[in-house]
Amino acid sequence: MLPRAWVVPELRAVRAEQVVDTVLAEDFDPRRHAVVSGDDAAEVGIHTDPACRGRQVVFEHQDSKRLNLRVGDGPPGYLVVSDTLLPGWTVEVNGQPARMIQANVYQRLVPLPARECSVAFRYRTPGLVLGLVLSALAALACTALLWVALRARRGPQPAARSGPARPTEHRPG
């Protein structure tokens, strides 16, 4: 059984439509390489130092919005985290923004430098702020419409008179 996170020395770059078949092939070894689309592999490069597989991965913190890992010293390699790569995740390596790509169909992959490093994943719900702003605007619009409807229901307001009122004449009848 594989751990939740490990380091691999190389990428196996294939066309996007071949990723699933490559992962299902008998010669696929997730501890030796990660399968990525060719476009993603071009962005992060391809290392080939098998010694990086010995790099230790320690979980320092994890909850639904954060995952902090410490990766031991060694040659450059690729951190594979067997969590789903969804929109909203970002990653920093040693406090600097880093590239994260999809590997092995659904997993997260991050290139690692040739030294001990900290890897911090953060999640922010995509569209949350925009959704909150639109909801607030909709609530304001509904409140304004309710106010207009209540004023219209009361009927016309009597006009205010300006100036002194005239006495009413009394005529005997």
**How far, in Å, are 110, 122, 169 from residue 87 at the CA level?**
15, 11, 81
pLDDT at position 43 is: 66
Same domain, 119 and 44: yes
Q: What is the pLDDT of residues 31-54, one digit of tens each?
A: 888 999 877 776 666 677 888 888
pLDDT at position 51 is: 86
Q: Which residues of the chain have pLDDT under 50?
A: none
Confirm if 123 and 89 have CB atoms less than 8 A apart: yes
Q: Report the distance separating Cα 108 and Cα 44, nearest Å.
A: 13
The whole-model pTM stands at 0.72
Q: What is the pLDDT of residues 80-98, one digit of tens each?
A: 999 888 889 999 999 999 9
pLDDT at position 113 is: 93
pLDDT at position 16 is: 87
pLDDT at position 88 is: 92
Same domain, 63 and 132: no
Same domain, 51 and 111: yes
Q: Which domain holds residue 144?
A: 128-154
In this structure, the number of other CB atoms found within 10 A of the CB of residue 47 comes to 18
In a domain, 171, yes or no: no
pLDDT at position 45 is: 67
In a domain, 160, yes or no: no
Indicate the SS3 state at residue 16. helix
Same domain, 108 and 132: no
pLDDT at position 142 is: 87
pLDDT at position 173 is: 60
